[in-house]
Amino acid sequence: MLTNVTHAERLAALRAELDRSGVDGLLVPRSDEYLGEYVPPSGERLAWLTGFTGSAGMAVVLATRAALFVDGRYTTQALQQADPALWEHCHLTEQPPQDWLARHAAGLRIGYDPWLHPQSALDRLMPSGAVLVPLAANPVDAVWRDRPAPPRAAAVPHPLEYAGRDSAEKRAEAAAGLRAAGEAAAVLADPHSLAWLLNLRGGDLEHTPLALGFALLRADERVELFMDPAKLPEATWAHLGNAVSVHPPAAMAEVLAGLGGQAVRLDPDATPVWFAATLREAGATLHAGEDPCRLPRACKNPVEQEGARRAHRRDAQAMARFLAWFAAQAPRGTETEIGAAERLLALRRAQPLFRAESFPAISGAGEHGAIVHYRATPETDRPIRPDECYLIDSGAQYTDGTTDITRTLWTGPGTPPADLVERYTRVLRGHIALATLRFPQGVAGPHIDAVARAPLWQAGLDYDHGTGHGIGSFLSVHEGPASISRAARAVPLRPGMILSDEPGFYQPGAYGIRIENLLLTRQAESRPGQTRPFLEFETLTLVPYERRLIDLALLTPGERGWVDAYHARVLAEVGPGLEDDGAEWLRRACAPL
C-alpha cells in the first residue's frame, strides 16, 4: 500500500509499474479526463506524484530521470513543492517538453493515458522523436492505492431567471451549425458545455459548479448525456425532458460505435484522444472544429450580463467590509495570510446567492506575493506584518455571476518605499489603459495585451503571465476561448464577453503587485467619421485602489480623472449597502485623489 510514503517512493513505484507495462516512460499531465483547470481529488495525479499543486503543468518520467514543466506563474511554487533532487524543473514555454524528450527520449516508448490528453497536446510532442504509446490503464492509478473515489454530487437545473435562454433554444442554435457543416453530431467533452447547453450545474468540483460528464449533440437537436443516472434527481430528469437521453459513462463506446459512416465534430484542443480513436475504429469521419457551445457560452446574454453586475455589487460590499477591517488590523501585525483569507470568505458567505469561492484565495504577504499563484498552507502561513505589501486575489461563485478581483495593499502605518509606489502606479496605469481602450471589432486579445504592459515596459519591467482571461457565468473563473495574452489564440473579442484586466509586477523574495478588475465587452457608441464598428469595456468590479501606493506625479490628468470617476461610482453603487464602519472607510477610500 502506497499510503503516507515519500514522493521518492512514489516515483520509484511508478517506474517499476512502467517496466511492467513495457514502456520506457510516461507523460503525466495535470488534467483529468475532462481536461479542465480544476480537477477533483481523484484526478490529482500530478500533485500526488510530484508534490506540485498548481493548476497547470506536466511531468515526464523516464527510467533514470524525470522532469516537471510549469509556466511562469508557478516556477517559484514548483521549486518549493517538487524536490529538485527528483525532478528537473523546466519552464513550459522556454524549455518545452518536446525539446526535453528530443534530448533524452528519442526512440524511446513513452506511454500516455488517452483519456488525459487532447490531440493538439500530443501533436506538439510528435517532433521529439519519442514513440508515443497509448495505454489501456494509467500506471499512476495502479500505484496510487489510496486514490479518492470520483465525485458523485447531484446535477441540478440552473433556473432560467439566471441562465437567460432555455436549453431548447441553445440546442436548436448549436444543432443548426452542425447541419450547416454537414455534421451528424458533435462530441461535447467539456463539462462546461453540458452546463451551458442543458442549463445544469453541480457540485463535483470545489470551486466550479459543474456536474462532470460527457455528451453527444446530434444535428437533430437531441442530446445523449453520459453521466451516472444516480446523479440526477427527479427534478433534473423533468428539466432535461424527452430530447435528452441519459446513459452511464460505460455506454459511450457502444453509442459512438453507432456513428460509423457519419461526420462527427471533435474539438482537438478540448477532447481526449480516446474519442477520436474510438470513432475512427467505428468508421466515422472526424471533423476538427471548435466545440459548438464554447463561443456562445462566452458571449453572455443580457440576463447573464445583468446578473454579473448584481453579483459584482454584492461582492464589492463584502470586499469593502474586508478592506475596512484589514485597514484597522494590518498595522497591528496580528493577522495571518490564512486568517485574512478566511475573514474575506466569511464576509462573502453572508452575501445573498453566494455558493462558493471561485478559486482558492491567493493571500500573499511580502515575499509570498511574488509567487503568482501562491496558496497559503498551514506550513507556509505567516503573519501579515506592518509596513509591507500584501496581495489578495480572490473571487466568488454566486448563482447570478462569477467574480474575480485582486487588490495589492500597503499594511502601514509607515510610508511605503518609493520603488514599490512607482511600480504599483505603473501597474495601475496599464490597468487603466486596458479598461479605457476602444478598439475595432475583430481585434483579439493578443492584439491588446501590450496596452497593459506599456507603462512597465517604459521602465524595463514586465510580468510573466497573461493580462486577462475569460470568466464564466456561474461557471469557471477561467473561461475560453478569448483571453488577453501574447500566447493566446487570436479569438476576436465580442460583445458579452467578460474578461479580466490584471497586469502585475513581481519582485522575487520581496513583494508582488497585481491589480485586477473584470471587464464586460460591449458595443461602443459611434463617433463622427467612424468607419467601422468599435468595441469598449464596461468595468464590473467596484472596489477602491490602494491610494497610499499611487504616485500622483506619474498619472496623467486623464488617468487621475478616471480613478476619481471610478471611485465616485464605487461609492455611489456600493456605499448604500454598507453599515457605518464600512461606509465610513469606503467614503475615505473613494475620496478624490
Residue 558 confidence (pLDDT): 98
**Which SS3 state, helix, strand or coil, does residue 477 take?**
coil
pLDDT value, residue 48: 97
Read off the pTM.
0.93
pLDDT for the residue numbered 4: 55
For the cut 50, the answer to whether the pLDDT of residue 1 exceeds it is: no
The C-alpha angle with vertex 303 and arms to 299 and 308, in degrees rounded to 5, equals 75
**Could you tell me the pLDDT band of residue 403, with boundaries at 50, 70 and 90?**
very high
- Please identify, in words, the CATH class of the domain defined by 156-297: alpha beta
pLDDT of residue 93: 86
2 pLDDT band, cuts 50/70/90, is very low
For the structural domain made of 7-143, what CATH number should be given? 3.40.350.10
Query: Does residue 288 have a pLDDT over 70?
Result: yes
Rounded CA-CA distance 227/153 in Å is 11
* Whether 147 contacts 49, CB under 8 Å: no
Q: Which CATH number fits domain 304-589: 3.40.50.1820, 3.90.230.10, 3.30.830.10, 3.40.50.150?
A: 3.90.230.10
- Return the pLDDT at 373: 87
Contact 57, 92 (CB under 8 A): yes
Q: Which sequence spans correspond to the domains of the chain?
A: 7-143, 156-297, 304-589
135-161 pLDDT, tens digit each = 999 999 999 999 999 999 999 999 999
Region for residue 88 given its phi and psi (left: phi exceeds 0; alpha: psi -120 to 50; beta: otherwise): beta
Residue 292 predicted with pLDDT over 80: yes
Nearest to 77 by CA among 48, 101, 56, 100: 56
Is the CB of residue 55 less than 8 Å from the CB of residue 35? no
- In 250-366, which residue ranges form alpha helices assigned H by DSSP? 252-257, 273-282, 294-298, 302-329, 337-349
How high is the pLDDT of residue 3? 45
Percent of the chain with pLDDT over 70: 99
Quick: pLDDT tens for 321-344.
Answer: 999 999 999 999 999 999 999 999
Q: Comparing 7-143 with 304-589, is the CATH topology the same?
A: no
pLDDT of residue 423: 98
**Residue 5 pLDDT class (50, 70, 90 cuts):** confident
